[in-house]
Structure 1
Amino acid sequence: MASRDLAESLLPVGGGAATATATASAHDEYDERAYDSDDKVSIAVSDSDSEDGGGDAMRPAFSWRKLWRFTGPGFLMCIAFLDPGNLEGDLQAGAAAGYQLLWLLLWATVMGALVQLLSARLGVATGKHLAELCREEYPPWATRALWAMTELALVGADIQEVIGSAIAIKILSAGTVPLWGGVVITAFDCFIFLFLENYGVRKLEAFFGVLIAVMAVSFAIMFGETKPSGKELLIGLVVPKLSSRTIKQAVGIVGCIIMPHNVFLHSALVQSRKIDTNKKSRVQEAVFYYNIESILALIVSFFINICVTTVFAKGFYGSEQADGIGLENAGQYLQQKYGTAFFPILYIWAIGLLASGQSSTITGTYAGQFVMGGFLNLRLKKWLRAMITRSFAIIPTMIVALFFDTEDPTMDILNEALNVLQSIQIPFALIPLITLVSKEQVMGSFVVGPITKVISWIVTVFLMLINGYLILSFYATEVRGALVRSSLCAVLAVYLAFIVYLIVRNTSLYSRLRSAMTKST
């Protein structure tokens, strides 16, 4: 009730009877939704396409025009595969392992595609996004715990993304704008987001399309100037190689691909189109086109990641700089190595990094709105929700920018801690997702089959083991003091208990245990 009262106080109000009508309407249509009906994009390409068809009719024939209407959400989703954290993982993998980990990058992208396709399927089939469905599926205490975990993951990702943008601004300004100044500039991207959102979903998607194109062109130019070996590239893609000295980079590649907030984001983005969820043929059509455009978007992101990895594999694998290369000094190393063939490669790198940072920070703001609104059922004004979600990340990022130097070794420890922070949140996105897409009561006829379900659980367990290795590695090398270690062990016990709860909650074992406990009391 408190959240409803808060929402009503923030909704536009009038006077007299109009106020009463608005209040009644707010109560009737209170539940938070990803998009208002007026904001959704029509996917009809002809008058006959809008006509009422049978609920169980076959999916309409393929149409390029319709694919274009559905194109957009997948490209916003793929930005999480291209954020500064991913770029840093790519360049470090290339510098430390050469072309040896390209096969892992390929399969990590395939695993990420599976997760994102399930997320899109959930959003289309139910007409609700993952955060909303979690609120309905789990008890209030678990819902709020999931919200807190997702917000922590968002903050961790956003700090890295904002710092990436600030580094790019510092490079492009030749050091005139300090790191904290770049953070301030990046903080205002939420106003760009609000400005574009007022002009409609398609304008916003076009803006992100331009940023992805800037990244693709920038890193393709770098690829052309450095000329990595095509033969080594192909061998790296098809021949699995992994050694003990590259295990850290391998874990980094896999860990960076699956971003918890991106799973929530994609299930909301697919609701930006007008789809009649009461008609099976229309839902089938939407799932079909979203699958195509998501795969196309991830192919683009994979191309960009390949360009970055191979450029640094060609230039720095086996060199003295390989172990110390990062986002800020990468451009300087490239400049020293390759100079200016077409355009200063330092600035090409900075432009691509800036596009990566800006696009990912804005989509982070977007995801934060859906996460907050869905879990807490808060229907706030857009500007207020954007400011709240932006503040969650900008305040800690400003503290980082003021007290840490990007070349300080402490920044590396902080960056590793942020990676761990995001890694531990992955189960709280993937387990609810697989649980929901496997429930016929939620998905209806679009429930996933047993093979997809088994593969999804295998991927989830694999990712949890990979990230468990990252957590244990950080714990062993960076955590000091008996008190701190014992406290973290207690937190870890609660963490694992919550994961077990999420896994077994919908099993017959849990039902029997709960029934037995009820009888005993």
Structure 2
Amino acid sequence: MSLTPHTPSLSEVHRSIKIPNEKGFGRKMLAYAGPGYLVSVGYVDPGNWATDLAGGSKFGYTLLSVILLSNLMAILLQSLCVRLGVATGRDLAQACRDYFPPRVNLILWVLCEIAIAACDLAELLGSAIALQLLFGIPLIWGVCITGCDVLILLLLQGKGFRYVEALVITLVGTVGVCFLLEIIFSQPDLAGILQGYWPQSEVVRNPEMLYIAIGILGATVMPHNLYLHSSIVQTRAWEPTSEKRWEAIKFGTLDSTIALSFALFINSAILIVAAATFHFSGYNEVAEIQDAYRLLSPLLGVSAASAIFGLALLASGQSSTLTATLAGQIVMEGFLQFRLKPWVRRLATRCLAVIPALITIIFFGERSTGQLLILSQVILSLQLPFAVIPLIMFTSNRRLMGEFVNPNWLKVLAGAVATIIVSLNVWLLLQTFSGLLFH
């Protein structure tokens, strides 16, 4: 594979964060910490909440094992993104541009832009729903308000990428603290939680449980996260030697693993709270975010429970929209070598999400937002194979990766993960379309 000259994506922050030369583990870990948390927000976005709520309310703690499995898959794939970005100095979009013919790249770029717009749509609706629940703001105005948050990202990135990372870490931390409080309020059964993390054959034998399980797995790995992570690991200014690149891969992988472990806690917490609050109280059909919000305080007997839930939803939606706009800039620059001013690029990305959201609310009413969220997840599922398969191809190619190529055991494991994720997404897609056709 020949590598063509290129301008780095996000050139304004490329290799802008210094790495200390001292051998101290703590200081280096802090220097590399950040990109993993930007990636982790894709695993706790509002699009995941519905499946976690449905799984917990309907089947108790049983599907915790599925959340754990999906998170382990995500950790592996994000580690490959770190490996690709550090070893080649390219993100996934740039590697595709170097390897595939122009027509294929154009198709991949269009598919990726659609997926980013779909993802941004889910986060936008999540934030708007949170504003409606917390402050009574009509959904249509909530969409407009959340559509302006790109200005925050522009302001922070102008000050330095560390400010962007700090904001996202603060928002993710807010979601974590909120759900820690919800767990304390709901007083779940510890033995039941531990048993739920142990895989059970019932998940496969029960068609209804399998459907929700596949929904959890299918919504886990976001295509844009693979492009995003392989680019933002390059914000660190490691020395271009073999030793320092191995060090960057080690610390970058550790960063994403810790961050995704935090995402595992949040996803688990959503399901645990749903199980403890709804399932064991006889409310087995709670799948809508609005229903969960209205029921939490009355069932738990804690007046603040619903407000805390809404605050977590708002923080989740806001953090996810920030990373989706960054991913949009990365794929356009990577696939097309075409660079827009950051504010133009982010405004375009946001308009692609705001316009369909407003049209749906105006013409079909606020209740149609649930169907719009489902559609956004289906679109993401469609695009996923076109990101996962090239990532594994590139990191397994010795001519491209050199000494950093995936070892054989990692190739086999990554191939198995890709097969599982793609197969489950195809199955979920077929079930969704058959449901739309026959119901």
* Smaller-chain TM-score bracket: over 0.9
2:330 match: 370
Spell out the pairing of 1:432-471 with structure 2 (5 A cutoff): 432-471=390-429
**Alignment check: 8 A CA contact 2:125 2:369 kept:** no
The residue type paired with residue 193 of structure 1 is L
Q: 1:202 aligns with which of 155, 159, 162?
A: 162
Q: Counterparts of 1:317 and 1:336 in 2: how far apart (Å)?
A: 15
Displacement after TM superposition at 1:324 (Å): 4.2
8 A contact 2:286–2:292 mirrored in 1? no
Q: CA deviation at 1:38?
A: 6.4
Question: 2:407 is aligned with what amino acid?
Answer: G
Counting aligned pairs with the same residue, the percent is: 35
**Per-residue deviation, residues 238-295 of structure 1 (Å, max 9, x unmatched):** 2424122211210111011111111111101101111233x10110010010111111
**Which of 168, 183, 186 is equivalent to 2:130?**
168
Q: Which residue of 2 aligns with 1:253?
A: 216
Output one character per residue of 1:312-351: Cα deviation in whole Å (capped at 9) or x when no partner. Answer: 00111165542243112211011221232xx511110000
Q: Is the 8 A contact 1:132 1:375 kept in 2?
A: yes
Q: Contact (CA 8 Å) 2:53, 2:286: kept in 1 or not?
A: no
- Kindly indicate whether the alpha-carbon contact (under 8 Å) linking 2:57 and 2:286 is maintained by their aligned counterparts in 1: no
Q: Partner of 2:68 in structure 1?
A: 106
Q: 1:373: how far off?
A: 1.2
Report if aligned partners of 1:96, 1:318 keep a CA contact under 8 Å in 2. Answer: no
Match of 1:122 among 64, 78, 84: 84
Partner of 1:148: 110
Shift of 1:32: 3.6
Aligned alpha-carbon RMSD (Å): 1.9
Aligned pair 1:272/2:235, yes or no? yes
Contact 1:39 1:201 in 2 (8 A): no
SS at match of 1:198: helix
Taking a change above 3 Å as real, the CA distance of residues 30 and 375 of structure 1, as seen in their structure-2 partners, is same
Preserved CA contact (<8 Å) 2:51 2:287: no
Instruction: Indicate yes or no: 2:55 matched with 1:86.
Output: no
1:388-427 alignment runs, 5 A limit: 388-406=348-366, 408=367, 410-427=368-385
Label 1:239 to 1:72 Cα distance change in 2 as closer, same or farther (>3 A): same
Which structure's relative contact order is higher, taking Cα pairs within 8 Å and 6+ residues apart?
A: 2
Q: How many angstroms does 1:380 deviate by?
A: 2.0
1:334 aligns with 2:296: yes
Aligned residue in 2 for 1:133: 95
Aligned equivalents of 2:51, 2:214: Cα separation in 1? 9
Between structure 1 and structure 2, the one with the greater Rg is 1
CA separation of 1:38/1:362 partners in 2, compared to 1, >3 Å: closer, same or farther?
closer
Q: Could you report, residue by residue, the CA deviation over 1:402-451 in whole angstroms, capped at 9, with x for unpaired residues?
A: 23444x3x544433322221111110000110111011121111010111
Give secondary structure in 1 for the equivalent of 2:127: helix
What one-letter code is carried by the residue in structure 2 that aligns with 1:442?
L
For residues 318 and 224 of structure 1, the distance between their equivalents in structure 2, rounded to whole angstroms, comes to 16
C-alpha displacement at 1:152, in angstroms?
1.4
Task: Tell me the amino acid that sits aligned with residue 332 of structure 1.
Answer: R
Alpha carbons 2:361, 2:369 under 8 Å: kept: no
The residue type paired with residue 144 of structure 2 is: V
Query: Please, which of 45, 48, 57 is the counterpart of residue 20 of structure 2?
Result: 45
Aligned partner of 1:288: which letter? K
Instruction: Tell me: CA distance 1:62–1:336, structure 2 relative to 1, closer, same or farther (3 Å).
Output: same
Instruction: After superposition, give the CA deviation of every residue in 1:437-474 in whole Å (9 maximum; x if it has no partner).
Output: 01112111101011111111111111111111111112
Q: Distance in 1 between matches of 2:67 and 2:171?
A: 22
Runs of 5+ unmatched residues, structure 2: none
| Segment of structure 1 superposing worse, 61-70 or 437-446 | 61-70
Cα distance in 2, alignment partners of residues 304 and 330 from structure 1? 16
Counterpart Cα distance in 2 of 1:380 and 1:347: 39
Counterpart for residue 25 of structure 1: none
Aligned length in residues: 433
C-alpha separation in 1, matches of 2:351 and 2:48: 23
